Each structure stands twice: as structure tokens, then as C-alpha cells.
Amino acid sequence: MNHESIAMPDKNVFLAYTILNVIDPPLYNSHPLRKRTTKHFRKFEEKIFAGSKNIVLPNIEVYALTLNEAPDLSKRKGLALSSHVKNMLIYPSDYLECLVDFYRNTDFEKFYQKILPEYKAICDELQDILDKEKIHKDLNDIWEIKKPFTKDVVIPMPLEETQSGSGPYIGDTAYQIIGPPFGYLSIESIIHEASHPRMDRFMTKKLVEEIKKKRYLFGHVLANPSYPPQYGKNWIACFEEHFIRAMQIAFFEIETRIPYMLEKEKGYHGFSFIREFYDEINKYKEGKKGSLQDVAFGVLERLDKTYKNRTVPKIYRPDI
């Protein structure tokens, strides 16, 4: 069967997450494989960068996708890396050293082959769901994609946090690295992570200068104590997150849950403008005039009209 969305194990990504879990052991283990993996590889902690315990490796799992499968781990040739991915990979030489050293100096390969049947079973269950739900087509239709990605590759990652992940794209492949729980509960995470490459490629590139002009708005978001720290230095990422979350609520949420979800995104997750984004997207959904790009411009105009005469909280830094 020619799958448009493929759920599959990825050895390199599993290797990257193994390293992350050894460096920063989880406070809790949301999946049995995470507990087993962390416990097994703690004895190899000193194999990571000569035992340094203060390593920060943001997005090393994305870097792992740009390499040939272990044990090769050489850089894949001819990759067309998006600016989004390039920005995520700021220490590539350190990343490669870390991945190669850990792979060679531990029994990672033996351990991975042992747990692979269990890992594949997770993927097989997700593949059945993806084939049934046609998420790839729904996402392309809703995001109005005329030249879609060749495929979506879903990489379930039991070593990731609950309902967390990332959504990079490399060339014409969009990846969704998603954490547990798996099964039908994964759909929400898949939709979210698959929306990132679609918005980045087909919308954000055209909007980036206009978004930058309204960067003062970021100060009002940063004033929300619940706003996630991982987005704390990037107004463009903040805008994109607002838009994607509002799109999910408008197009994929059960109507009776929408008020709850809007309040959750604003109060619990800290996305202060979620109501404005949702309102503009919902109006477009009902009327279908213009395009989603027009909706994004409309959101910026609406926010600017509301906040331009308000004092920007001191937490805001103009260099952001």
C-alpha cells in the first residue's frame, strides 16, 4: 500500500533521545520503554562528552534525521534543508561527535535490536490509524496546500515527554516526532506537528516581515506567566504557535469543547492571543473569502488595533 503518512521507527532519533534521557533523566517515565532505556544507559553516562553533565543539545533529534542510519552516521548527501531546520541545528559538529561516540562506546545497537519489535508494534498500530483517518489529505486541504509534501513520516518516540514533539521538514518530507500516549490519542499531536512544516513553508515565509513589524505584541504574551519558556525568544515562533493551535481548535475540535480549549490555551499554556486568532480563523472557515494568508494579516491588524496604545510590559526586550 502506498501510504501518504508513514509511521516508522527511527534508529537515529531513538539514539538521540537516549542521549537526552541520560543527560537529563526524566522526573517520571510516561512510557515503559523510557523507563527501561533510561535505567539501562545510565551506566554509560560518562561516555557522553567525557562525562560532562552540563550539556545542552537542543534539537539533536532533528539533526539525527540529517544523517545516514547508525552505525554509518555520516551526513546524508543532497538534502534540501529548510531555513527552519537550519535554525534548529546550531552545533552540528558537537552533535555528530556526541551521537557517534555514544553509539560506538555503548551497547546501543544490541539494546535497540532487542526493543525493536516492541517499537515496531507501536508504529504498526499508528499506521492503521493513519490509513483510516486520512490525516495527510485533511491537513493539506485545511492548510490549502497546492503542492503538498511527498509524504508525512510519523516517528513515535516513547522517550519523549507526554504529548510533546517536533515537526521539522527536510526536502519534501514532513516529519512528526511525537511522544506518548500512542494510538488514537496520538492524532492531536500528529496534527499539530504536521501543521508546523505546512505553515512554515507555505505561509510564514510570506508573512515574516509583516510579523516582525508587530514584534512589540510579543511583550504582552511574555507577560503571561504560563507562556512556555521554549518560545521565549522568538516572536515569529510565538505567532506560528498561536495560529496552529487556533487552527486545530477551529477545524479539528468538537464544537462543545471549543470554549474549554480556548481557555486552556490562554490560561494553562499561556497563549494570550488565542481568542483573537481563533475568531479570525473561524470567520474565514465560515465564509471562505480570501486565504489563510489574509487571515494572518487580519489577526496582526486586529491585535495592533487593540494593543498599540497599551504600555508594553517591562518583561519585553526590544531585541527579541
Encode the chain (320 residues) as per-residue pLDDT tens digits. Answer: 456 899 999 999 999 999 999 888 888 778 999 999 999 998 877 666 554 445 667 889 999 999 999 999 998 998 878 777 777 776 667 788 889 989 999 999 999 999 999 999 999 999 999 999 888 888 999 998 888 888 899 999 999 998 889 999 998 899 999 999 999 989 999 999 999 999 988 788 788 899 999 999 999 999 898 998 877 678 998 999 999 999 999 999 999 999 999 999 999 999 999 999 999 999 999 987 889 999 999 999 999 999 998 888 776 544 44
Distance CA 260, CA 108 (A): 44
Could you give the residue ranges of the DSSP H alpha helices within the chain?
11-23, 32-41, 60-64, 83-88, 92-105, 108-133, 135-142, 187-199, 205-213, 217-222, 235-252, 258-263, 274-287, 292-307
Cell 533510561, residue located: 38
Distance CA 299, CA 210 (A): 11
Distance CA 171, CA 254 (A): 34
